[in-house]
Amino acid sequence: MIADTGNVKFTTRDVHVFYGAKEAIKGVDLDINNNEVTALIGPSGCGKSTYLRCLNRMNDTVDSARVTGTIELDGVDIYDRSVDVVQLRARVGMVFQKPNPFPKSIYENVAYGPRIHGLATKKSELDEVVETSLRKAGLWNEVNDRLDTQGTALSGGQQQRLCIARAIAVSPEVILMDEPCSALDPIATARVEELIDELRENYAIVIVTHSMQQAARVSQKTAFFHLGDLVEYGDTEDIFTNPREERTRDYITGRFG
Amino acid sequence: MTDTGKTPYFLSERAQKLVRKRYAAERRFRFYGLAMIILALAFLAVLFYTIISQGISGFVVTNIRLPVTFTAEALGVEPGATAEDLKGVSGFKYTKLARRSLNDYLGIPKGDTEDERLSRGLLSNGVDVQLRKILVNDPTLLGSTVEVWLLAHGSVDPFVKGQISRDLPENRRLINDQQMAWLEKLEHDGRVDLRFNSNLFTEGASADPELAGVGVALLGSFFMMVLVVLLALPLGVGAALYLEEFAPKNRFTDLVEVNINNLAAVPSIVFGILGLAVFINYAHLPRSAPIVGGLVLTLMTLPTVIIATRAAIRAVPPSIKEAALGVGASKMQAVFHHVLPLAMPGILTGLIIGLAQAMGETAPLIMVGMVAAVFDFPGSPMDPATALPVQIYIWSGLPERGFVALTSAAIMILLAFLLTMNATAVILRKRFERRW
């Protein structure tokens, strides 16, 4: 079930996640490739979001959560003691389900990450980072004349692209997206999907989605999760046209989930 | 409707009855609510009417206008004495000046000892301070005669204000018929008037109501409030942040949490005993001093601040903290850069409500000795002082008629402060409230 393509960013082996006594992920082996979009699909509660949150150790913030197995980023175990979780999260950015800009100006939203990481010290450098990030997120033309308005005053789709700009402002290597379009209308969704496709050039992207059409549209690799197991992983085309597993077939044809 | 004979259930008598019952229940509940609000407002109106009608007379005080001649001889100074010299003259000589001018006006000759003794009873014991102040401010008045408003004695004041009937038999009045006759003569000549009682704000304790004020108490309360803000805000917010965001969730922190919540309900006098035992008996801090009072009130305010802060922190959506963590902020950065600023309106509201509580607290201050009669203004929080509510408590127990009005006047001042503080809390909350 391990992809044999080169250019691997994340290598995860035998990953288990427990919430107290409940086992949410039951031994997942999965590789995430660079410059590709990997979609994680599956019915609610299958563990795909939990798995995603292992990749930047966001599960650390949940007291009862316990992660076992190895998760390597460029060959280094991210759960090793020597790895600083704050730096890891700068390298592995995250975009959340509900757009969550800081209740500050658009400029401050994007500048916050570079500032705390010391990526830009001078005002001019910071201005540049903000502009490039907003351009990459396809938001610059819409907001360049009102950078000091509140990020929360933007529309839902714009807010989500602002969150993407905020994530790429710290120059991450991987971007994790947890159902980034579930709170957006179809037009805003299309914009974000377009953006994801553009971003693929420079980043490894992992996206959790409930929409199988979305997975089919934006991803190159798809992983199907069910009840904490990784059922099937492969090229998106294969998964959707010729799934090997019965459960995958049932799910993508809408028989359950 | 078809004529099959069966009415649909929701049009049946049974269903209609339920509907009517539902409406009646709602109407009844609305009525109860409205009635309770009206009742509460009525009580509030009665309270305000009582306090204001009694207290308003405390803001004015009876004065008698007299022509006072500042003779250098009577004061025992050289003509052309400087302000410094005049400051050094004993108060008794100024008092004698005032008495002389009153006696001259009433036509009481020098040496008429009985009448002289009686006429003294019309003037306040504080007239020496008044006269000295006038003369020190303008030494050139020495040798001339000036019309001066002098404070009347506290036993005269209630008759001028009409609070005690003049028809009372002589043996039940504090001023006798002779003194009453003089007062009426002065009134007839337009020399008696109710003037603004500035002593109420500038003076400390006094046995004479016309000389007593809340000045020392206000300063004492001010020192304590500053101390409470300086200590309770950082300690309370820090404790709340630690408990809410950093402390491990286990039995021990649960226990701490339960105890903090219970601490908010501990009777305030217990904090007073604690302060007496720890700050005065053990740490040997001065008694009756605002520093001890402030520390005790801080202990009392802390639970309020901690509980309010924790509620405010919990009200910040977790998505904001996640967003900060997601771009690689440390936990401390996420909390201090994002959560705390968003929680600030709630924290400030809690703090101000805690302060208002502390400002109105009496019992613990009595335990640490702030109930003493303090005449001089405290120069620092280490000097003896009283507090506003304690001053009210002291005055409420004094028998003179004048203190009844002062008690209500001081309550009005206290209420004004509390209303201002609560209004500030509302404004801060409205102003910094953010939506997301």
**B-chain residues near A95 (CB < 8 A):** 326
CB–CB of A175/A168 below 8 Å?
Answer: yes
CB atoms within 10 A of CB A210: 16
Q: CA-CA distance, A24 to B234, in Å (whole number)?
A: 41
Distance between CA atoms of B411 and B217, rounded to whole angstroms? Answer: 12
User: Is A61 in Cβ contact with B322 (below 8 Å)?
Assistant: yes
- In 3D space, the residue among A241, A193, A240, A200 whose CA is nearest the CA of residue A214 turns out to be A193
**Closest by Cβ to A166, choosing from B322, B327, B435:** B327
A94 neighbourhood in chain B, CB within 8 Å: 326
**Chain centre distance of CA B258:** 33
Residue A162 makes CB contacts below 8 A (sequence gap 6+) with A99, A101, A106, A109, A110, A134, A137, A139, A143, A151, A154
In a domain, A144, yes or no: no
For residue A237, being part of any structural domain is answered with yes
- Tell whether A57 is covered by a domain: yes
A→B contacts (Cβ < 8 Å), by residue, are: 56, 58, 61, 63, 86-90, 93-96, 98, 100-103, 112-113, 116-117, 152, 163, 166-167, 169-170
Residue A134 inside a domain? The answer is no
- Of all residues in chain B, the one with the smallest CA distance to A176 is B326
Distance between B304 CA and the closest CA of chain A, angstroms: 27
Domain enclosing residue A74, as ranges: 8-100+172-252
Residues 6+ apart with CB under 8 A from B93: B74, B75, B76, B128
The burial class, CB within 10 Å (0-12 / 13-18 / 19+), for B313 is: buried
Question: Does residue A118 belong to any structural domain of this protein?
Answer: no
Cα-Cα-Cα-Cα dihedral sign, residues B146, B148, B153, B159: positive
Whether A152 maps to a domain, the answer reads: no
Question: pLDDT of chain B along its 436 residues, tens only?
Answer: 455 667 788 888 889 999 999 999 999 999 999 999 999 999 999 999 999 998 899 999 999 999 998 888 888 888 878 888 888 888 888 998 899 999 989 888 888 788 888 898 899 998 999 999 998 898 888 888 899 999 999 889 999 998 888 888 888 888 888 899 999 999 999 999 999 999 999 988 888 899 999 999 999 999 999 999 999 999 999 999 999 999 988 899 999 999 999 998 899 999 999 999 999 999 999 988 999 999 999 999 999 999 999 999 999 999 999 999 999 899 999 999 999 999 998 999 899 989 999 999 999 999 988 888 888 888 888 888 999 999 999 999 988 888 999 999 999 999 999 999 889 888 888 887 765 5
pLDDT in tens, B12-57: 888 999 999 999 999 999 999 999 999 999 999 999 999 999 889 9
For A107, residues 6+ apart whose C-beta sits below 8 A from its C-beta are: A130, A147, A148
State the Cα–Cα distance between residues A248 and A223, nearest whole angstrom. 10
Q: Dump the DSSP string for B46-68.
A: HHHHHHHHHHGGGGEEEEEEEEE
- Asked if residue A158 belongs to a domain, the reply is no
Q: Do B237 and B309 contact (CB within 8 A), yes or no? A: yes
Q: What is the dihedral of CA B398, B400, B404, B410, to 10 degrees?
A: -70
The domain that holds A38 is classified in CATH as: 3.40.50.300
Report CB contact under 8 Å: A112, B327: yes
Amino acid found at B25: A
Contact A166, A105 (CB under 8 A): no
Annotation: CATH topology of B215-432: MetI-like fold (1.10.3720)
Q: Determine contact, residues B409/B55, Cβ cutoff 8 Å.
A: yes
**Which residues in chain B have Cβ-Cβ distances shorter than 8 Å to A88?**
328
Sheet of A204-208: strands edge to edge? A92-95, A174-178, A204-208, A37-41, A221-226, A229-235
Cβ atoms of residues B74 and B155 within 8 Å: no
In chain B the first and final C-alpha atoms are separated, in Å, by 51
| Cα(B268)–Cα(A131) distance, integer angstroms | 58
Q: In Å, how far are B148, B252, B315, B342 from B319, measured between CA atoms?
A: 71, 28, 11, 13
| Interface residue of A49, A102, A154 to substitute, partner B, most B CBs within 10 Å | A102
Q: What is the ipTM of this complex?
A: 0.88
| Overall domain count for chain A | 1
Task: Return the HEC string of B91-103.
Answer: HHHHHHHHHHHHH
Residues of A in contact with B322 (CB under 8 A): 58, 61, 96, 100
- Ordered by start, the domain boundaries in chain B are 13-56, 59-202, 215-432
Give Cβ neighbours of residue B392 (< 8 Å, ≥ 6 apart): B362, B407, B410, B411, B414
Segment A209-244, tens digit of pLDDT: 988 889 999 999 999 999 989 999 999 999 999 889
Burial class (CB in 10 A: 0-12, 13-18, 19+), A82: exposed
CA distance B332 to chain A (A): 11
Q: How far is A114 from chain B (nearest CA, A)?
A: 9
Q: Which residue does chain A place closest to B326, by CA atoms?
A: A94
Say whether A100 and B338 touch across the interface (CB within 8 A).
Answer: no
C-alpha A101 chain-centroid distance: 16
pTM: 0.83
Do A93 and B326 count as a contact with CB atoms less than 8 A apart?
yes
- CA-wise closest residue to B347 among B429, B258, B424: B429
The verdict on a CB contact (< 8 Å) between B329 and A112 is yes
Residues of A with Cβ-Cβ distance to B325 under 8 angstroms: 58, 61, 89
Measured in angstroms, the CA of B426 and the nearest CA of chain A are apart by: 21
Q: Is residue A86 part of a domain?
A: yes
